[in-house]
Structure 1
Amino acid sequence: MILELVVPGRGSSASPSYKGHRYPVEVISHCVWLYFRFPLSFREVEELMPGRGVIVSHATVRRWCLKFGQAYANGLRRRRPRPGDTWHLDEVFIKINGERKYLRRAVDADGTVLDILVQNRRDTTAARRFFRTLLKKTCSVSRVVVTDKLRSYGAAHREVMPSVEHRCHQGLNNRAENSHQPIRQRERAMKGFRSVGGAQQFLAAFSGISLHFRPHRHLMTAAHYRAEMTVRFAIWDQITGAAGRPTTA
């Protein structure tokens, strides 16, 4: 998936407000980028920032990530092209405070995350809710839905998306299963999640920000990859509001 720059003022949404923050947007957006792109804790981000001449506490980094993380992810999501017509759905177990929960994800054929939802169960009611939130968030309907052989998917599909082709096969769903790997890595670095709400909040922002900076490098030449990353960082500066701001002494 190749991203293109959007000319500011032509259908682009306003960047978040930084009123009342004494640090410039460049510092705030850089800390948020570090936290969501790499497996770092708030304290590790704090330890990295003095190398850039910035002294900031881990508590401040945490507040920035909570306040701006989802806003940045939403801005990136609005810049994406329309999702492909084949959607891959899958779920994995995650531990939250020692209890087993279920993380459902939907990705298109390019691996773009369409929706993510943490649930207590994986029955038909839960699958039905996931289908409905997926349709609401994407504002579109796919041509094909690919899932594993979990029966609740079939029951929910017949009720919510009966006109969409449903392919149910374990081997066809590797794309969705492989897309869980970055989350597994981050879950290990964070030593698990403490609450369902906290997991949902983090993963929604993480999926939007982290994957923006993870193009399919294995399909690109080195020059193509550098050009693509330049575009993606320019988009990041646009949605955070850092683009075009004057540099202060």
Structure 2
Amino acid sequence: MTPDRATYPGYRFPAEIISHAVWLYHVFSLSLRDVELILAERGITVTRESIRNWCRKFGCEFAAKLRRRRPKPGDTWHLDEVFLRINGQLHYLWRAVDQHGVALDILVQDRRNGRAAKRFFKRLLAGLKYKPRRLVTDGLKSYGVAQREILPEVRHRSSRYLNNRAENSHRPTRRRERQMQRFKSAGQAQRFLWAHSMIYGHFRLRRHLMTAGEYRRARTKAIRTWRQETCTQAAT
């Protein structure tokens, strides 16, 4: 570890402690109080408000770095939307994953019409700079509107029975929504869920497809990448 990477400017706690708190909060279904207690057990006295500020400040930053290190996504993309109730109003979380279940992007919107679908498609393509070979969605007609205008050359399959990959990807969101007693604003939901999908997904390896040795090597690589991107370990 090099001295210039040991701390973040303006923060008195070492980078290792801050990044560890962000890691605990996003990878496990822990509350801010839970993270505070875990750090206290290790002799680190910090308030949950400080942890909240760390997660808000560094969560998206760390997630963006992990996203840039991610390999090229698969050529089949599954898209789905799920409702979120925020301050009594319905919003919709749009999510895209590839055929391996790797999260590509998310977007919280208050509509699920054709215009909202096109906005999500444009965000998805701008962030990834790749185009899929096939799109799989549920029966929502808004996807067809966006696909015909933005990705007319891409094959589109619309079936509720083929889209389990995207539907299952919402489970971590539902767990965190319950644990956080729902989101307080659309902006908060977008910031948290985008960072959460990237950080959580980085450590959720497809263990059922690996041998024990392959899984341990992949896990070690994921941890090493995290430490490098959060500046707690010099890149080699």
Would the TM-score normalized by the shorter structure come out above 0.5?
yes
Q: Deviations over 1:43-90 (max 9, x none)?
A: 221111022221111111011101100010011001111111111100
Secondary structure, aligned partner of 1:110:
coil
Identity %: 54
Task: Tell me the amino acid that sits aligned with residue 102 of structure 1.
Answer: Y
Cα distance between partner residues in 2 of 1:20 and 1:98: 37
Structure 2 partner of 1:112: 102
Cα distance between partner residues in 1 of 2:112 and 2:100: 25
Structure 2 partner of 1:6: none
Structure 2 partner of 1:9: none
Task: Tell me the amino acid that sits aligned with residue 173 of structure 1.
Answer: N
Within-5 A mapping of 1:145-164:
145-164=135-154
Unaligned runs of 5+ in 1: 1-14
**1:16 CA drift (Å):** 11
Structure 1 partner of 2:202: 212
Within-5 A mapping of 1:35-46:
35-46=25-36
What is the Cα-based RMSD across aligned positions, in Å? Answer: 1.5
Q: Is the contact between residue 82 and residue 94 of structure 2 (CA under 8 Å) also seen in structure 1?
A: yes
Q: Deviations over 1:96-143 (max 9, x none)?
A: 112211110001111111110001011111111111111111111111
Q: Pick from 165, 174, 178: which aligns with 1:175?
A: 165
Unaligned runs of 5+ in 2: none
Structure 1 partner of 2:214: 224
Cα distance between partner residues in 2 of 1:220 and 1:84: 18
- Scaled by the length of structure 1, the TM-score of the pair is 0.89
Q: Pick from 2, 6, 9: which aligns with 1:19?
A: 9
Task: Tell me the amino acid that sits aligned with residue 193 of structure 2.
Answer: L
Cα distance between partner residues in 2 of 1:75 and 1:125: 29
Secondary structure, aligned partner of 1:172:
coil
Matched residue count: 231
- Scaled by the length of structure 2, the TM-score of the pair is 0.94
**1:220 CA drift (Å):** 2.2
Task: Tell me the amino acid that sits aligned with residue 197 of structure 1.
Answer: G
